[in-house]
Structure 1
Amino acid sequence: MKMGEITMGFITPMKPWKWTRSGVISTNDSNAKTGSSSAISGSGQIPFQNVFQTAVEQVKETQADVENKQYLLSTGQLEDAHTLPIAETKAQISLDMMISLRNKALESYNELIKMNI
């Protein structure tokens, strides 16, 4: 085997990731969960709006997961009791991230308003 030669045996090469319109990362695999395999912009950057949409969706998902696990724990159906505090911590972290994003966006907006043109 020559140096730099890639074989499709034990190690598979990595594929590039792209952001899709739904904000989900695509690996261009046929079995990957994506809405579209094309990038949003030619530069591969995420639109500003998607940052906030993704943060809000993540907060909603983590909060729903916490509520579901709380229900399962209260009815005795939760098999792993340690998953509830983990889910609560994830929900708190995602909420803190969204609040930080909001605060930074407001600070940036206020700075732009103060600028003289």
Structure 2
Amino acid sequence: MEVHMSPIAPLWNDDMVQESSAARNNEAPAIPFADVFQSAIDSVKETDATKNELQYLEATGQLDNPAELVIAENQAILSVQLLVQLRDRALDAYSEVMRISM
């Protein structure tokens, strides 16, 4: 009784490795964390100013659509939460770096 088995194909070959390294070289440049953090701060300021303006318009009876205020309040809350999460992640990363012994 003869058993004919075909060889197992490799999971990757040299061409695939070269393609992946070429793809890594063509990636977009990384955005510095300071720019991301500053963008989050600017977003908090902008959404808070919009929320405050809409609250003023509502208080004076000039706001036509109250849903705009609810949306602005939720956007302000989300932008603050994002900023807090970024801060927490930065502090966690800093703590990890400080724990590394040389």
TM-score by length of 2: 0.71
Q: Which amino acid aligns with 1:60?
A: K
Please state if 1:113 is matched with 2:88: no
Unaligned runs of 5+ in 2: 1-26
Distance of 1:103 and 1:81 partners within structure 2: 34
Look up the equivalent residue of 2:86 and give its one-letter code. L
Matches within 5 A, 1:1-117: 43-117=28-102
Partner SS state of residue 76, structure 2? helix
Name the SS for the 1:83 alignment partner.
Answer: helix
Look at both structures and tell me which one has the larger radius of gyration over its CA atoms: 2
> C-alpha distance in 2, partners of 1:59/1:48?
17
RMSD: 1.2
Detail structure 1 runs of 4+ shifted over 4 Å in the superposition.
none
Normalising by the residue count of structure 1, what TM-score does the alignment of the two structures yield? Answer: 0.62
Q: Could you say what secondary structure the match of 2:63 adopts?
A: coil
Q: Secondary structure at the match of 2:57?
A: helix
